[in-house]
């Protein structure tokens, strides 16, 4: 990162207080996100009525920046609507505050499984129908999702993966840019929480080689088969150049989290090898960032 970019980031971090609003679907991981922010020093409030947000901001400490996290979810549904709109407008008008809205999402099968495993009742499931409760909650929260600065999809995350992801996110909002590289399979659906998506299906597929099919992009024979292709080398060169151009400029503009998804058909061979090589090049490239790598469909 250039000196000018670094100075711009430092000014943006030191000159404003920050309020982070965490919302999203029940069971998607809001509590884990809240604990992650609390661990890095944020003042955290769970289930706060939106009308109270301006008052919390007004009474926060005056001895310098004080970062606040507020969780708003379906438990406070009666406050959604005009009251929420007025509060968000008040935050926008407070020039000394930087606002972030984080929406924690997950797909229906993952949410249903989590509720079955935990045996906890869904807060919206008065009749006991968890799936219908999830769908109703998704409809109710759709306007907030549209306004979110960042959508984090925890579908398929283990508890450890989710904690690590939220920890990285909380730290990144207080320090430097965090870049996430995610491999995935298009046949399992595209990830929801990416800023940029690249398709590696133009490369020859190791899946059709009987000897390579049971292996993954972590294994040396698959890496050689994928990365040894001339198109793969050119793709990596161009993508690395693009990231080297974009990342410092995102950081200079105050962006704190950037997620790149690389997909292939199944998410086990080409995309894994490409993401690992991209991560290697970024680490060796001297960019000032935190790097997080995830292979979403490696075990599918």
Q: Mean pLDDT for each consecutive 10-residue tract of the chain (300 residues)?
A: 34 58 89 88 84 80 65 66 75 79 90 80 72 86 85 84 83 73 95 91 96 96 97 96 88 79 97 96 80 88
pLDDT at residue 288, as a whole number: 65
CA 296 to chain CA centroid, Å, is 13
CA distance 222 to 282: 21
| Sheet strands side by side (includes 68-71) | 43-46, 68-71, 17-24, 97-105, 150-153
Q: How confident is the model at residue 78, as a pLDDT?
A: 56
pLDDT in the model for residue 18? 81
Residues 6+ apart with CB under 8 A from 195: 258, 259, 260
What pLDDT, on the 0 to 100 scale, is given for residue 111? 87
Give me the helices (H) in the chain, please: 3-14, 30-39, 53-58, 82-93, 108-118, 130-147, 159-174, 220-227, 230-252, 270-284
pLDDT of 252 reads 66
Q: What is the CATH number of domain 15-174?
A: 3.40.50.300
Beta-strand pair 43-46/68-71? parallel
Task: List the chain domain ranges.
Answer: 15-174, 178-295
Q: What is the pLDDT of residue 216?
A: 96
Nearest to 30 by CA among 51, 44, 50: 44
Q: Are 275 and 295 in contact (CB under 8 A)?
A: yes
Asked if residues 193 and 151 have their Cβ atoms less than 8 Å apart, the reply is: yes
């Amino acid at each position: 990162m250039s000196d000018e970019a670094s100075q711009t980031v430092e000014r943006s971090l030191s000159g404003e207080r920050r309020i982070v609003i965490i919302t999203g679907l029940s069971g998607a991981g809001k509590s884990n996100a809240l604990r992650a922010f609390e661990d890095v020093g944020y003042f955290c409030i769970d289930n706060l009525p939106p009308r109270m947000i301006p008052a919390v901001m007004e009474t926060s400490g005056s001895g310098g920046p004080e970062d606040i996290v507020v969780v708003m979810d379906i438990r406070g549904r009666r406050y959604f609507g005009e009251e929420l709109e007025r509060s968000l407008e008040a935050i926008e008008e407070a020039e000394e505050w930087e606002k972030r809205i984080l929406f924690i999402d997950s797909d229906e099968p993952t949410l249903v499984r989590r509720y079955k495993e935990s045996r906890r009742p869904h807060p919206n499931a008065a009749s006991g129908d968890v799936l219908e409760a999830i769908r109703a909650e998704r409809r109710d929260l759709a306007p907030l999702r549209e306004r979110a600065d960042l959508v984090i999809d925890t579908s398929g995350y283990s508890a450890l993966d989710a904690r690590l992801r939220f920890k990285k996110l909380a730290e990144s909002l207080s320090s430097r840019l965090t870049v996430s590289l995610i491999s995935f399979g298009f046949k399992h659906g595209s990830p929801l929480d990416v800023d940029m998506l690249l398709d590696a299906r133009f490369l020859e597929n190791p899946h059709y080689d009987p000897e390579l099919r049971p292996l993954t992009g972590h294994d040396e024979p698959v890496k050689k088969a994928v990365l040894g292709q001339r198109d793969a080398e050119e793709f990596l060169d161009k993508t690395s150049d693009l990231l080297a151009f974009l990342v410092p400029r995102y950081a200079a503009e105050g962006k704190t989290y950037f997620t790149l998804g690389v997909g292939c058909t199944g998410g086990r061979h080409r995309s894994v090898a490409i993401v690992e090589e991209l991560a290697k090049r970024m680490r060796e490239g001297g960019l000032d960032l935190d790097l997080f790598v995830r292979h979403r469909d490696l075990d599918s």
